[in-house]
Amino acid sequence: MSIHVSVICSAEAECLALSNPDVLERDMVITAQAGNADSLADVLLRDQPDVVLLELADDDGHALETIAQTLCQAPATHLVLVSEEHSEAFLLRAMRAGVREVMSGPLSPVTVQLAVKHARLNTTVSNRRVRNRGKVIAFIPAKGGAGATFLATNLAYTLSKMDKRLLVLDLNMYFGDASVFLGDKAAVSNVVELASQVQRLDAILLRSAIIPLSENLHILPAPELPGGFSNVSIQGIEKIIEIARNQYDFVIIDISSNLDEVALRALDLADVIYIALQLSLTFIRAAKHMVRVFQSRGYPRDKLALLVNRYESGGIIDLGDVESATMRKVTLTIPNSHFAVTESINQGIPLLALAPRDRVARAMRDWAAVLAPTASTPQPKGWLHKLIRTA
């Protein structure tokens, strides 16, 4: 795997010297630009480098603070400072800011090669790309009205409250409504518009197109009106998903039950597909059909998860009927809570915020805790945990 190196030089002339091909090792990609600590955030977002060399002309007191704040968003970055300052106090502050090494100037091809050599010895660099890949989870109703959008958006909100960074990607090309469930802030762009700019699509362009609902929760909405989506760029959609999974812990994709080409390509790229259904014959028939379609596309068994929404036990139809029709175990059930869910949708306030003690909100919390276990989150015990794990 090649190593990506970004160099931020204090003067333009040094950048030119570093663009010399002699600097490059066979599996090294290098980009150099003039700048300072304030440039770091943009460089991380644009280049997604493994190693950054930042030349610090002089520490004005703020540079290390800026570096510390920026590295919080990308803690696995191997940041090397090139500086003449080597006092004990400075080295200590640099270390606390997340800097891996402080090297003496001047910044030269030899400095870059040495920094890369040291970085290669640090296993976090070779592991970083793997660890930074977010999980792509798709939600699709077996047929319309199963509750896929409600569950996708509310799971996203719940995970965002557990310190996970998420992008909700609305691929409902006909009247996508995911943003409504989360408060419906004005959109600056949409998924179709963004996908059409496939040549210049990068993390910065994605960032400029999303609605930031909070620091952790972003949404890329569907077009407000259906139209122009018949020639949506599939390549663009693939690129959006690929970039997003490098930027977020989870990419939650909301898809309609019309299995068009865009939907199928997005589903191909997903790690897990939740098929939402309810306990009625029409839903079960639709789920059975959908499972067959996905099997014929060669999806591995553990990629599909059956999610029974609005579940109430004791009815004529039970989970066994779903399982024998689809030949699959039900992964998860979410209870019915008509009043609270309707209020949440009508007010555009996620259920966890509106009614945290509601049973659906509690089920969401348990579900999120299994998907994103943390040291401080006790794992839900019993059937839910077992079902999700063995699905």
Ligand X SMILES: Nc1ncnc2c1ncn2[C@@H]1O[C@H](COP(=O)(O)OP(=O)(O)OP(=O)(O)O)[C@@H](O)[C@H]1O
User: Given the rule CB under 6 A, which residues bind ligand X?
Assistant: 141, 144-150, 172, 256-257, 276, 309-310, 334, 336-338, 341-342, 345, 360
In the bound complex, what is the minimum distance in angstroms from residue 170's beta carbon to Mg ion? Answer: 9
- The C-alpha atoms of residue 113 and residue 103 are separated, in whole angstroms, by 12
The DSSP 8-state label assigned to residue 315 in this structure reads S
Contact flag: residue 179 with Mg ion (CB under 5 A) = no
Nearer to ligand X, 83 or 333 (CB): 333
What sections of the chain are H helices per DSSP?
12-18, 40-47, 63-73, 88-97, 109-121, 123-131, 148-160, 178-181, 191-195, 203-209, 234-247, 261-269, 281-296, 319-326, 338-347, 351-354, 359-371, 383-390
- Residue 48, contacted partner among ligand X, Mg ion, none, CB below 5-8 A by kind: none
Nearer to Mg ion, 139 or 248 (CB): 139
In the bound complex, what is the minimum distance in angstroms from residue 149's beta carbon to Mg ion? Answer: 3
Nearer to ligand X, 164 or 310 (CB): 310
Nearer to ligand X, 44 or 341 (CB): 341
Residues 309 and 277: beta-carbon distance below 8 Å:
yes
In the bound complex, what is the minimum distance in angstroms from residue 344's beta carbon to ligand X? Answer: 8
- The C-alpha atoms of residue 262 and residue 151 are separated, in whole angstroms, by 21
- The C-alpha atoms of residue 10 and residue 293 are separated, in whole angstroms, by 56
Contact flag: residue 77 with Mg ion (CB under 5 A) = no
- The C-alpha atoms of residue 43 and residue 7 are separated, in whole angstroms, by 9
Piece of the chain touching Mg ion by CB under 5 A; list 45-53, 149-157, 230-238, 294-302: 149-157
Residues 387 and 330: beta-carbon distance below 8 Å:
yes
Contact flag: residue 257 with Mg ion (CB under 5 A) = no
- Residue 246, contacted partner among Mg ion, ligand X, none, CB below 5-8 A by kind: none
Contact flag: residue 247 with Mg ion (CB under 5 A) = no
- The C-alpha atoms of residue 44 and residue 48 are separated, in whole angstroms, by 5
Residues touching Mg ion: how many (CB under 5 A)?
Answer: 1
Q: Which residues would be at the binding site for Mg ion (CB under 5 A)?
A: 149
